[in-house]
Amino acid sequence: MNERLPAGFDLEPERYELQEAPFLDLELARRDFFKAAGGGLIVLLFLPAAAAAQEAGGGRRGRGFGGRMPAEIGAWLHIGEDGAVTSFTGKVEVGQGSRTSLAQAVAEELRVPADSVRMVMGDTALVPFDGGTAGSQTTPAMVPQLRRAAAAARELLIDLAAREWKEDRGLLEAAGGKVIHSRTGQAVDYGKLTRGRKLVEAVGAGAALTPASAWKVCGQPVPRAGGVDLVTGRHRYASDQRLPGMLYGKVLRPPAFGASLVSLDAKEAEAIEGVMLARDGGFAGVAAPSEREAERALAALKAEWKTSPQTAAKDLFEILKQGPGEGRDREGRPEQERGSIEEGLAAADFRLESAYTVAYIAHAPLEHRAALAEWKDGALTVWTGTQRPFGVRGELARALGVPEERVRVIVPDTGSGYGGKHTGEAAVEAARIARAAGKPVKVVWTREEEFTWAYFRPAGLIEVRSGVKKDGAITAWEFRNYNSGASAIRPLYDIPNLKVEFRPSRSPLRQGSYRALAATANHFARESHLDELARQAGIDPLELRRRNLKDPRLLAVLAAAAERFGWGRARAAGRGFGIAAGFEKGSYVAYCAEVAAAAATGKPAPEVKVERLVTAFECGAILNPDNLRNQVEGAVIMGLGGALFEAIEFEDGRILNPRFSEYRVPRFGDVPVLDTVLLDRKDLPSAGAGETPIVGVAPAIANAIFDAIGLRLRSMPLLKSRG
């Protein structure tokens, strides 16, 4: 795809939902910045030429300012004449706390309190182009950019004060929103320095950043920005947006995937007062003055559909192994290969071959997809919850046939996404209906629509062959993933004969990004198989991992989790202990699980209760320990659902369990005692934490179940039959 991504960020193959789209540079004229932000000082951080070219995918460069500045703006911030600090970023807040952590980053370098920084996020008319809030890239990519912009602003303010006072700038320092003379104590606040000015300063990455060991704002448990509004209901999500004269839209859905509309009789619906019909090829929707009237109009549409027979969930893994279908690469590609698998197996004292499966699961965000669209003078504005405001802007422009510069997408802080809100279905639907109706239209998906028409986490089949010596040295590792993806497919274990491979498949359901992508599937298979190897060789599962690891960071989280858990202690009857470790997106995690389990008479799945789960997590220097703990424990609880219960059931093009009464997610009673150990590595750059903590929950529990009752479960969810 052509959409710009952070330097060094590769698009994983399982991001199926992302299609190629052109990118546009942010090319605001100097006056446009002040029109957007007001007078004062504006600092623009430009990416280095090499990084900008990489992020742009080798695409065009804009003219910039005065014909001499590059157009790849990484971040920008404004210091107003009243001293107010506003920072602008294309990232969005979807519950992960980025509004708070990004404000901390700016505040740290500007020497101001975090709550004095206002973040403008996800408004395509105001913020720099951004590839989207995905891949745990907000912390490693955007935090440094904002810090550099803020550090440059700090140095510019010191320069302004030095010139105004005619003093040596070496005697001046920034603190508390002021520039202060270290000897005389003379001080001037930022607002006074910028008053009456309209300064635009373009800077690179040259300003010195504060080392993590000297942080005063970053590294602190700063309360969540807007937290009071969230818990009191004052925050307005996309579904809460209102405009004068607004109508409510509903979309006609086919009875099965792939069905085509043959005919439509809308006479009865159009006879309802205030109802308007939108018809665009195979798309049909209605708009009405109230949601209830829109539902009534939708029910009045008489549609004839053409459907075709489709597969069912019972045949899923056989279909995935058949490959991608005619005309596509059936062999996939090796992700990593060295040595000889056959020689490694021959050298092994024990050999093992196993297959593991993972089901499709839904993102199940509490906030449904929603969008409010308004057309005015040929321009379109859409308020919607998405992780990719610029990507959705491109979708809208293509779907509606308008230039991207005539489309504005505004993203209110959104009620979770988990990788499921990369696309703009509701936005396109609202815009289509609004154009036909000539009035603003809001579309809010129902829970059934969310479960049926959104994309799912890819299902997968993973086959593993391995060999191990009596001393625990793994001699061979062959790992093949069908369909679910390549994320974290490469093991960190030191294995001389290794081949890991991802093979694409023809998926019967729409699939795409999910929190941690295929790292969850690959860790489930890898860490379960390692436990099986350890049992076969008669070696403690923790010790087997240690004997085959050299990575100090993974060893450190394993040690921390084992110590906190008390690994090696005696267990009671019916109790089992399991261990797993993982890595992804620059961060490392290890788990120790304790379960109570018993075989259930007459049932295929055992009775299982996860009693305790210790998680040790390391993502470099910690920006906000409270927020990090929330991310880790939220991911762990979410991981319980995929590990134990969640699975999409389907047959003949229809989803069979499209509501929470039929789709089992974790409940309060399912949550074990959570014991979280955070390793703060101030000597390492901060990495993202929104995804990695989910990856090893399932194998830790599966290994504990085996330890308790000797039953090896190789399919996620582990307790599929349990309701």
Whether 245 and 394 map to the same domain: the answer is yes
Instruction: Out of 231, 252, 269, pick the residue that ends a domain.
Output: 231
Please calculate the CA angle 410-413-417 and round it to the nearest 5 degrees: 100
Give me the pLDDT at residue 31, please. 52
Whether 295 and 338 map to the same domain: the answer is no
Please state the separation of Cα 597 from the chain's center in Å. Answer: 33
Q: Taking residues 427-434, report their average pLDDT.
A: 98
Give me the pLDDT at residue 601, please. 73
Give me the pLDDT at residue 2, please. 38
Residue 378 domain boundaries? 238-307+369-444
Tell me the longest C-alpha to C-alpha distance in the chain. 87
In a domain, 721, yes or no: no
Between CA 408 and CA 373 the distance in angstroms is 10
Q: Extract the runs of DSSP E, i.e. beta strands, from 650-721.
A: 650-651, 654-655, 673-679, 715-716
Collapsed DSSP state (helix, strand, coil) of residue 614 = strand
Give me the pLDDT at residue 185, please. 95
Give me the pLDDT at residue 307, please. 95
Give me the pLDDT at residue 551, please. 97
Strand partners, 75: 45
Reading the block at residue 427, the tokens are 């936005």
* Residue 480 backbone class (left: φ over 0; alpha: ψ -120 to 50; beta: rest): beta
Give me the pLDDT at residue 116, please. 95
Q: Which residue has the tokens 């703060």?
A: 680
Give me the pLDDT at residue 37, please. 62
Answer yes or no: is pLDDT of 140 > 90. Answer: yes
Q: For residue 294, which phi and psi values (nearest 5 degrees)?
A: -65, -40
Q: What is the pTM of this model?
A: 0.92
Contacts of 345 (CB under 8 A, 6+ apart): 351, 465, 467, 475, 476, 497
Q: What dihedral do alpha carbons 395, 401, 404, 405 form, nearest 10°?
A: -150
Reading the block at residue 296, the tokens are 């009534």
Q: Taking residues 232-249, report their average pLDDT.
A: 96
Q: What is the tens place of the pLDDT at every residue in 637-678?
A: 999 999 999 999 999 999 999 999 999 999 999 999 999 999
Q: What is the tens place of the pLDDT at every residue in 371-405?
A: 999 999 999 999 999 999 999 999 999 999 999 99
Whether 212 and 255 map to the same domain: the answer is no
Percent of the chain with pLDDT over 70: 89
Whether 289 and 412 map to the same domain: the answer is yes
CB 129 within 8 A of CB 90: yes
> Over the chain, what is the mean pLDDT?
90
Whether 216 and 287 map to the same domain: the answer is no
CB 690 within 8 A of CB 584: no
Instruction: Out of 231, 248, 271, pick the residue that ends a domain.
Output: 231
Q: Taking residues 496-500, report their average pLDDT.
A: 97
Whether 466 and 426 map to the same domain: the answer is no
Collapsed DSSP state (helix, strand, coil) of residue 38 = coil
Region of poorest pLDDT, from 75-84, 215-224, 701-710: 75-84
Residue type, 247: L
| Residue from 17, 16, 19, 22 nearest 4 by CA | 22
Q: For residue 660, which phi and psi values (nearest 5 degrees)?
A: -65, -25
Q: What is the tens place of the pLDDT at every residue in 291-337?
A: 999 999 999 999 999 999 999 999 999 999 998 854 344 455 668 99
Q: What is the tens place of the pLDDT at every residue in 584-621?
A: 999 999 999 999 999 877 777 889 999 999 999 999 99
Region of poorest pLDDT, from 33-47, 115-129, 256-270, 444-458: 33-47
Whether 148 and 287 map to the same domain: the answer is no
Residues in the chain: 723
Which whole-number Å values give the CA distances from 26 to 99, 125, 672, in the listed order?
22, 9, 47
Please calculate the CA angle 455-636-418 and round it to the nearest 5 degrees: 25
In a domain, 316, yes or no: no
- The answer to whether the Cα torsion of 14, 16, 20, 26 is positive or negative is negative
Between CA 153 and CA 144 the distance in angstroms is 14
Between CA 598 and CA 609 the distance in angstroms is 9
Answer yes or no: is pLDDT of 7 > 90. Answer: no
Q: Which residue has the tokens 């060999």?
A: 467
Whether 462 and 603 map to the same domain: the answer is yes
In a domain, 338, yes or no: yes
In a domain, 314, yes or no: no
Q: Concatenated DSSP letters for 443-489?
A: EE--HHHHHHHS-BBPPEEEEEEEEE-TTS-EEEEEEEEESS--TT-
Q: For residue 279, which phi and psi values (nearest 5 degrees)?
A: -130, 125
Answer yes or no: is pLDDT of 20 > 70. Answer: no
Reading the block at residue 628, the tokens are 């990090």
In a domain, 415, yes or no: yes
Answer yes or no: is pLDDT of 26 > 50. Answer: no
First to last CA, the chain: 41
DSSP collapsed to 3 states, 526-544 = HHHHHHHHHHHHCCCHHHH
Answer yes or no: is pLDDT of 41 > 90. Answer: no
In a domain, 220, yes or no: yes
Region of poorest pLDDT, from 39-53, 366-380, 385-399, 555-569: 39-53
In a domain, 253, yes or no: yes
Give me the pLDDT at residue 318, please. 96
Between CA 138 and CA 133 the distance in angstroms is 7
Q: Taking residues 95-107, report their average pLDDT.
A: 96
Domain at 278, CATH number:
3.30.365.10
CB 512 within 8 A of CB 455: yes
Q: What is the tens place of the pLDDT at every residue in 69-85?
A: 233 556 689 999 999 99
Confidence class for position 63, pLDDT limits 50, 70, 90: very low
Give me the pLDDT at residue 330, please. 44
Answer yes or no: is pLDDT of 338 > 90. Answer: yes
Give me the pLDDT at residue 603, please. 77
Whether 426 and 465 map to the same domain: the answer is no
Answer yes or no: is pLDDT of 48 > 80. Answer: no
In a domain, 431, yes or no: yes
Whether 345 and 395 map to the same domain: the answer is no
Instruction: Out of 388, 418, 444, pick the residue that ends a domain.
Output: 444
Give me the pLDDT at residue 335, please. 81
Answer yes or no: is pLDDT of 117 > 90. Answer: yes
Between CA 430 and CA 446 the distance in angstroms is 14
Q: For residue 657, which phi and psi values (nearest 5 degrees)?
A: -135, 65
Sheet of 198-203, strands arranged across:
117-121, 85-89, 73-79, 40-46, 198-203
More confident residue, 526 or 23: 526
Give me the pLDDT at residue 56, please. 29
662: number of Cβ within 10 Å: 12
Give me the pLDDT at residue 333, please. 63
Give me the pLDDT at residue 18, please. 64
Give me the pLDDT at residue 614, please. 98
Reading the block at residue 410, the tokens are 């505004």
Q: What is the tens place of the pLDDT at every residue in 174-216?
A: 999 999 999 999 999 999 999 888 888 887 767 889 999 999 9
DSSP collapsed to 3 states, 107-135 = HHHHCCCHHHEEEEECECCCCCCCCCCCC
Give me the pLDDT at residue 21, please. 35
604-639 b/e with 16+ CB inside 10 Å = b?
A: ebbebebebbbbbbbbbbbbbeebbbbbbbbbbbbb
What domain count does the chain have?
3
Whether 202 and 339 map to the same domain: the answer is no
Whether 226 and 245 map to the same domain: the answer is no
| Residue from 64, 61, 75, 74 nearest 32 by CA | 64
